[in-house]
Structure 1
Amino acid sequence: MPLLDDLELLVSEVVTNALIHAHSEVDLRLREYADRIRVEVRDSDPYPPVPTALLNDESSNQEAESGRGLLIVEALALAWGSSPAGRGKTTWFEISTAAADPEPDTDHRS
């Protein structure tokens, strides 16, 4: 199921990003709406996540490791962002569930 695959990948990327950069516990919340799912990951790092474009320079490869997962989030999510939350932040993304709905039956044979 593509929706579940995308959801699993995006949750993995956002949680991994929080664990690596915040060095703290994370709080994961999923919110289901009629047309989308919103995932929120809260951590204790006050700095917003920054997507990093891949670099061709080998000396910059270490820096390129940081933020690549957010490029995946940008590509697959309907929307994403980050907002301050206490002493840390909440990074969130939304994916559409509309594509997961089955196609209506348009075959009206009698």
Structure 2
Amino acid sequence: MPDGGGGPPNQIRRLVLHGTRGVVSRCRDFTARALADWGWIPPDSEEAGERVEDVLLLVSEVVTNACLHAGGPEELVLRHGEGRLRVEVYDASPEHPRVRVPRSPALPGGHGLMVLDLLAGDWGSRDKGPGAVGKVVWLEVERPPGRKRDEPD
């Protein structure tokens, strides 16, 4: 399968996690390194830069949700190919995310799924699989079409 972005097609990165202390920043740093390796960083346009920031915010949201509602994430998996990034966060809780009743953006908390709805191209959750307890919360983000690096601004 061809890859619409930088780097070889269908690359996968995994980060095994334990506990909740410092896990959000570890996941953001891990994701930023992968995006750099895959050519998303440095961004080649303003739109691409915004997309990188969106990805890092989305990773923070799904990992934070795993910390708050599922005892912490067990693994972060990044899948890159065909111009798309898929982020998967594995945890041990069988409870899937549920959208809350809409509330004021001025109130703290409860906005993580709204952020996913706004910034991710698609997202959802699934059970880990037969014989495994827990779930995977996933999201996908398309890489914006960018100019070639040698084109003028």
TM over 0.5: yes
Q: Which residue of 2 aligns with 1:48?
A: 96
Q: Partner amino acid for 2:70?
A: A
Aligned mates of 2:98, 2:140 — CA distance in 1: 17
Contact 1:53 1:71 in 2 (8 A): no
Aligned mates of 1:28, 1:102 — CA distance in 2: 30
**Equivalent residue runs for 1:36-75 within 5 Å:** 36-55=84-103, 65-66=109-110, 68-75=111-118
Question: Residue 82 of structure 1 is aligned with which of 125, 130, 136?
Answer: 125
Structure 2: 5+ residue runs without aligned partners?
A: 1-48
Determine helix, strand or coil for the equivalent of 2:118.
Answer: helix
| Deviation of 1:3 (Å) | 1.6
Q: TM-score, normalised by structure 2?
A: 0.57
* RMSD between superposed Cα atoms in Å: 2.3
- More off after superposition, 6-15 vs 44-53: 44-53
Flag the structure with larger Rg: 1
Q: Partner amino acid for 1:101?
A: G
**Equivalent residue runs for 1:1-110 within 5 Å:** 1-55=49-103, 65-66=109-110, 68-85=111-128, 86-97=132-143, 99-102=144-147
Determine helix, strand or coil for the equivalent of 1:26.
Answer: strand
Q: Runs of 4+ in structure 1 displaced over 4 angstroms?
A: none
Contact 2:73 2:89 in 1 (8 A): no
Determine helix, strand or coil for the equivalent of 1:65.
Answer: coil
Q: TM-score, normalised by structure 1?
A: 0.78
Aligned residue pair count: 98
Percent identity, please.
Answer: 37
Contact 1:15 1:26 in 2 (8 A): no
| Deviation of 1:4 (Å) | 1.0
Question: Larger % of helix: which?
Answer: 1
Structure 1: 5+ residue runs without aligned partners?
A: none
